Amino acid sequence: MSDRVVSVVRPGALTTVQDSGRTGYAHLGVPRSGALDPAALRLVNRLVGNAEGAAVLETTVDGCALRSGCGVTVAVGGAPCPVRVDGRPVAWGVAVRMAAGSVLEVGAAVRGVRSYVGLGGGIAVEPVLGSRSTDLLSGLGPAPLAQGTVLPLGPGTTGRGHADVPPWPGPPDELVLRVRPGPQDDWFTDAALRAFTTRAYRVSPASNRIGLRLDGPVLERAVSGELASEGTVLGAVQVPPDGRPVVFLADHPTTGGYPVVAVVREADLGAAAQAVPGTPVRFVPAR
């Protein structure tokens, strides 16, 4: 067996393998999946010399710990957090060299929700439909990490990448999401549409990789009855019967039967990955 592996010492609350996603299969009912914070994915990969879409680990809230079977360059980015190698503090957001047998400890997020662990060569689990991403909705890709899981690494890189001091965006104090009208915006009253773009929501603790759930103004419908299931897209703002919007994220279902009041610009969704419960959210019309 190759020594180019890492083994899981502590999996954390939810740590998954993610890359740039499983695109092109929505017509088969397969979600895109992939890293919720694409900018963080690209930056940690650049730091360790990987291709920008290589597979990394996405942690949730409380990090993880890994033991390396070989010398490897690592970088931890996304949500700021303490990082240690063999118990000694090392820098967050820069490339660090680990020796064979060393333990990398990724601590709890100080701000934000999801940290990203890039390793030289990338996580080389078997691709499924062209992606190594874990899809929590459909169950495709590798299972979330468990203690003792062994992950193969790709061929070693030549060293550090080309981003010595990358421009890490900070987790948002307020999440501002630019939207365009959705296909069923006329299913809502004028008062509901005004409230949607003028009043504040807050991120619900029930949010996950499937959707950003929001607490706040209830959107009253002008049209009653059921909507036939139809295709949905990343960033769709679906409104279930309780009237509280849900913003679809990477693991969202490819079809849905609730009206979509608006669609968030994809460029704004990375910040949603780092919005902790209680973060204020505003929807503003895209210009």
- DSSP labels, 130-151: TB----TTT--SSPPP-TT-EE
Bin 95: left if φ > 0, else alpha if -120 < ψ < 50, else beta. Answer: beta
Same domain, 147 and 66: yes
Going residue by residue through the chain (287 aa), what tens digit of pLDDT does each one get? 578 999 999 999 999 999 999 988 888 888 899 999 999 999 999 999 999 999 999 999 999 999 999 999 999 999 999 999 999 999 999 999 999 999 999 999 999 999 999 999 999 999 999 999 999 988 999 999 999 999 999 997 655 555 555 666 777 889 999 999 999 999 999 999 999 999 999 999 999 999 999 999 999 999 988 888 888 999 999 999 999 999 999 999 999 899 999 999 999 999 999 999 999 999 999 87
Predicted confidence at residue 158, as pLDDT, reads 57
Predicted confidence at residue 10, as pLDDT, reads 98
Predicted confidence at residue 149, as pLDDT, reads 96
- CA dist 37 and 31 (Å) reads 16
Residue 257 forms part of a structural domain: yes
Same domain, 148 and 181: no
| The 3-state secondary structure of 152-209, one letter per residue | EECCCCCCCCCCCCCCCCCCCCCEEEEEEECCCHHHECHHHHHHHHHCCEEECCCCCC
Task: Output the CA–CA distances (angstroms, integers) from residue 109 to 77, 82, 118, 256, in the order listed.
Answer: 10, 8, 16, 33
Torsion of CA 246, 247, 250, 256, to 10 degrees: 60
**Number of domains composing the chain:** 2
Predicted confidence at residue 211, as pLDDT, reads 96
Task: Output the CA–CA distances (angstroms, integers) from residue 126 to 40, 97, 132, 142, 227, in the order listed.
Answer: 23, 25, 6, 8, 38
* Contacts of residue 158, Cβ cutoff 8 Å, sequence gap at least 6: 49
Same domain, 201 and 274: yes
Same domain, 133 and 209: no
What beta strand segments (E) does the chain contain?
5-10, 16-18, 56-58, 64-68, 72-78, 83-85, 88-90, 96-98, 103-106, 115-119, 150-152, 175-181, 201-203, 211-215, 230-231, 236-238, 246-248, 255-256, 260-264, 280-285
> Residue-wise over 170-208: b if at least 16 C-beta within 10 A, else e?
ebbeebebbbeebbbbebbeeebbebbeeeebebbeebe
Longest dimension (CA), the chain: 64
* Contacts of residue 250, Cβ cutoff 8 Å, sequence gap at least 6: 21, 31, 32, 33, 34, 35, 36, 209, 234
Domain that holds residue 259: 175-285
- CA dist 60 and 221 (Å) reads 35
Examine the fold and report which residue of 102, 117, 152 is the final residue of a domain before the chain moves on.
Answer: 152
Same domain, 209 and 135: no
Residue 35 forms part of a structural domain: yes
Residue 38 forms part of a structural domain: yes
Examine the fold and report which residue of 120, 152, 184 is the final residue of a domain before the chain moves on.
Answer: 152
Same domain, 101 and 190: no
Predicted confidence at residue 227, as pLDDT, reads 86
- CA dist 25 and 77 (Å) reads 29
Domain CATH code at residue 179: 2.40.100.10
Give 262's strand partners.
Answer: 181, 237
Same domain, 10 and 76: yes
